[in-house]
Structure 1
Amino acid sequence: MHSFFSRFSPGAGTFAILLAVAVPLLASCNKEDGTAKAEQAAADTSVPVEAVAVSRRSISASYTGTATLEPESEAQVAAKISGVLLELMVEEGDQVKAGQVLARLDDENPRLNLAKAQASLRKLENDHRRANEMFERKLLSAEQNDKIRYDLETQRATYELAKLELSYTKITAPISGVISRRLVKVGNFIQVNQALFQIDNFDPLLAVLNVPERELNTLRADQVVHMSVDSIVGQVFDGRIERISPVVDPATGTFRVTCEFHDKSGRLKSGMFGRLKIIYAEHADVPTIPRSALIEEDGETAVFVVIPGSEAVVAGKKPGNEGSVDPATKPKNEKKSEKDKTPIPAWVAKRRVIKVGYGDANHVEVLDGLSEGDRVITLGLSAVRDGTAVQVLEGVQ
């Protein structure tokens, strides 16, 4: 039995071989575990941010403002004589033409006055004809003949006035447009100059902007204007600048820009609140970044660019070393342990001053300071400083 176990027991040489194999494996495991822990430590101390890449797009320079729509022309239809309203021929919302009859007043009294004036006129015409015959025969003095002639002219004017007053019993539209308000009812007694209707001409509709003086040289007549209104969601109406006031109001420092819109669909109405955008210049296919990436401080425009952590080390600024002991002051014989070494993060934020051009509500044009492919931080800027280790999440352009 002893001889059997002695035959199969490992000797000193076998133990040496096993030891030689196990030690490197153990060291390798420790090294891999240390690397994983270092990477995990770097990730734990990184600031999560969102970043997007510089992209090319068309971008325009524009002025935006708000205004209330108003008609190009409007009129209040008023009565020129008094009387009872007998008939209404239009209602609110009806389209009318200039000269169209809108309502009718009681015309009995004006008609009688016209008949009376006409009878008096005929009598004086006969008197004047006989007076002329007598004057030619020298049976009537010139003074008497002139008096009859003057009376005839006065009566002719009275007749024309009576005829005009009779025509006023028909209320007509002074302009073409839409009946926006009816102010009376059938049977009402109408006084002279009392308003009966409001007519608005909605073609075109005007939007008047009060624009700051600094935009005086950028806006001009016939530039395209885009407008949206709160009550018509998802539709943009196109118009143009109809005229620009040549003077600046010294009290407000603004000038008036009148924009006009022709809406064939009839959906735009007077009094609507419009949001206007006037594009006065455009650059096509230029590098742009989201406006949320911009940092305005110390009179400069800057962004935080995301770069690999290894590039930051090569540049001489190792992230996470702020506040550590200067290596020159440490004893030369002191060695760093693996746990004392600062891990290198995958990504680092680098502040970069840039120059911007045109911009809209969401993006700005980059003239200098960035290249295509650079990624700028758009979310999490408040927690980032130059050299901060970051964990990058892809943002939305």
Structure 2
Amino acid sequence: MNIHRIYSTVTATLLLAACGQEKHTAAEAPRPVVTTVLPRSGSAGAVITASGMIASSQEVALSFKTGGMVAQVYVEEGQYVQQGALLARLNTTELEAQLLQADLNIEKLQRDAGRLQQLVKDTIATLEQLQNTQTSLSAAVQQKRSMDYNLSQASLYAPAPGFVLQRQVNPGEYKTPGSPVFIIGSNMDAGNPKWVFKAGLSDKDRVRVQEGQSAAITLDALPGQVFTGKVSRLSAIPEAQTGTYNCYISFEPGPAHMVYGLTGKLSIQYAAGDQYTLLPLDALMAASGDTALVYTVLPDSTVQQRSVHIHSIHGDAVAIEEPWPRNLPVITAGKNDAVPGKKITIAQ
């Protein structure tokens, strides 16, 4: 009996201690503050989609005006160059020798013309002989000017800042006049950087698209981000190899780090369509293919994660396939602080 009494006394003491500790629980952590928006219903028209890549707004093929042996190449394919950068130069030994010969020929003709002028005065030479010598002298001077120009063209310089898209030359090669040596891709337009997304359209899609139409771009390397732009240029003839028509979308990347050659897809709406739920682009937490995650807020301020299927992208809105519950807001700002199953505070 004494053992039972001692056990009961110890148990009661522990229970009283536990009740005392409950009175000193820590204060609840502050809730994250988020911004929400109610999705709207809108038309999601027929959309053209095409694969493409980040390209340059201008591509320039560079070549030597005169043929010759390549002495030095200063850049590699894929390298970024500034305007005026020296790219390559020819061996100019032969051109310099020709210029020296031209100088010697001009000096000789100048002496001949001077002597003939005196001989004409003395009626020993005819005026025709003097005139012929003066004509030869003028021709020699113009020929030397042409040689000087050819010598100045023996070096290739970058016409604008950009990337070396193709390098088709190595030191020691002989290049004929006009044969391609470099292709430079530039994103500068009137001194300002201009990024372009290039995609190939089928013949059916080509006739549905016009310059100035809005387009949305997604890049494989930057999942979850959507860039908006406009159709800046459309090719009138198809590519010989693919049979598709090039479509160029000019856009502003904002703070995103853009790199030439990134692959992705574009979407262009060309007709009105059925009604869909439209979510703000800012509501997307992550996207993979046509599936995305969003955070919603239940009536009791609890965060809920929902998976949605993307039908199409329209500027700053995303049309989804699923019907949307009435008065269910999505989080557009503060998503990174929100945790599914936890409560939040909605900013007023």
Normalising by structure 2, what TM-score? 0.53
Determine the structure 2 residue equivalent to 1:50. none
Q: Which of 125, 143, 153 lines up with 2:110 in the alignment? A: 125
Determine the structure 2 residue equivalent to 1:192. 176
Aligned equivalents of 1:215, 1:197: Cα separation in 2: 30
Following superposition of structure 1 onto structure 2, how do residues 89-104 of structure 1 map, counting pairs within 5 Å? 89-97=74-82, 99-104=84-89
State the SS of the aligned residue for 2:45: strand
Question: What is the CA RMSD across the aligned residues, in angstroms?
Answer: 4.4
Determine the structure 2 residue equivalent to 1:238. 228
Inter-CA distance 120–234: structure 2 relative to 1 (3 Å threshold): same
Inter-CA distance 247–201: structure 2 relative to 1 (3 Å threshold): closer
The aligned amino acid for 2:45 is A
Inter-CA distance 97–149: structure 2 relative to 1 (3 Å threshold): farther
Aligned equivalents of 1:216, 1:168: Cα separation in 2: 43
Does 1:207 pair with 2:191? Answer: no
The aligned amino acid for 1:168 is Q
Q: Which of 258, 264, 267 lines up with 2:258 in the alignment? A: 267
Normalising by structure 1, what TM-score? 0.48
Aligned equivalents of 2:195, 2:137: Cα separation in 1: 50
**How far is the alpha carbon of 1:144 from its aligned partner?**
0.8
Determine the structure 1 residue equivalent to 2:27. none
Q: Which of 276, 281, 291 lines up with 2:266 in the alignment? A: 276
**How far is the alpha carbon of 1:123 from its aligned partner?**
2.2
Determine the structure 2 residue equivalent to 1:162. 147
Aligned equivalents of 2:183, 2:235: Cα separation in 1: 28
| Aligned residue pair count | 239
Contact preservation (8 Å) 1:211, 1:257: no
State the SS of the aligned residue for 2:135: helix
Aligned equivalents of 1:215, 1:156: Cα separation in 2: 55
**How far is the alpha carbon of 1:115 from its aligned partner?**
1.4
Unaligned runs of 5+ in 1: 1-54, 249-253, 291-357, 366-371, 374-397
Moved more, 93-102 or 258-267: 258-267
Following superposition of structure 1 onto structure 2, how do residues 222-371 of structure 1 map, counting pairs within 5 Å? 222-243=212-233, 258-261=248-251, 263=253, 267-270=258-261, 272-279=262-269, 288=276, 362-363=320-321
Inter-CA distance 81–123: structure 2 relative to 1 (3 Å threshold): same
Aligned equivalents of 1:206, 1:136: Cα separation in 2: 75
**How far is the alpha carbon of 1:117 from its aligned partner?**
0.9
Contact preservation (8 Å) 2:88, 2:155: yes
Contact preservation (8 Å) 2:235, 2:245: yes
Aligned equivalents of 1:280, 1:138: Cα separation in 2: 88
> Who wins on radius of gyration, i.e. which is larger?
1
Inter-CA distance 137–99: structure 2 relative to 1 (3 Å threshold): farther
Identity among equivalent positions (%) equals 21
Contact preservation (8 Å) 2:215, 2:229: yes
Aligned equivalents of 2:105, 2:44: Cα separation in 1: 76
Contact preservation (8 Å) 2:276, 2:319: no
Contact preservation (8 Å) 2:52, 2:266: no
**How far is the alpha carbon of 1:171 from its aligned partner?**
2.4
Inter-CA distance 136–113: structure 2 relative to 1 (3 Å threshold): same
Aligned equivalents of 1:178, 1:73: Cα separation in 2: 11
Inter-CA distance 262–149: structure 2 relative to 1 (3 Å threshold): farther
Following superposition of structure 1 onto structure 2, how do residues 126-141 of structure 1 map, counting pairs within 5 Å? 126-135=111-120, 138-141=123-126
Inter-CA distance 208–78: structure 2 relative to 1 (3 Å threshold): same
Inter-CA distance 107–362: structure 2 relative to 1 (3 Å threshold): same
Aligned equivalents of 1:185, 1:115: Cα separation in 2: 28
**How far is the alpha carbon of 1:262 from its aligned partner?**
5.1
Contact preservation (8 Å) 2:120, 2:126: yes
State the SS of the aligned residue for 2:201: strand
Inter-CA distance 287–183: structure 2 relative to 1 (3 Å threshold): closer
Q: Deviations over 1:329-387 (max 9, x none)?
A: xxxxxxxxxxxxxxxxxxxxxxxxxxxxx99863499xxxxxx98xxxxxxxxxxxxxx
Does 1:182 pair with 2:167? Answer: yes
Aligned equivalents of 1:196, 1:287: Cα separation in 2: 54
**How far is the alpha carbon of 1:179 from its aligned partner?**
1.0
The aligned amino acid for 1:61 is G
Greater helix fraction, Structure 1 or Structure 2: 1
Q: Which of 52, 57, 63 lines up with 2:47 in the alignment? A: 63
**How far is the alpha carbon of 1:229 from its aligned partner?**
2.4
Contact preservation (8 Å) 2:216, 2:228: yes
State the SS of the aligned residue for 2:223: strand
**How far is the alpha carbon of 1:183 from its aligned partner?**
3.4
Moved more, 226-235 or 257-266: 257-266
Aligned equivalents of 1:113, 1:102: Cα separation in 2: 24
Aligned equivalents of 1:197, 1:247: Cα separation in 2: 24
**How far is the alpha carbon of 1:148 from its aligned partner?**
0.4
Unaligned runs of 5+ in 2: 1-38, 188-193, 239-243, 279-313, 327-348
Inter-CA distance 287–181: structure 2 relative to 1 (3 Å threshold): closer
Aligned equivalents of 1:208, 1:148: Cα separation in 2: 63
**How far is the alpha carbon of 1:142 from its aligned partner?**
2.6
Inter-CA distance 60–125: structure 2 relative to 1 (3 Å threshold): farther
Aligned equivalents of 1:130, 1:216: Cα separation in 2: 75
Aligned equivalents of 1:242, 1:97: Cα separation in 2: 25
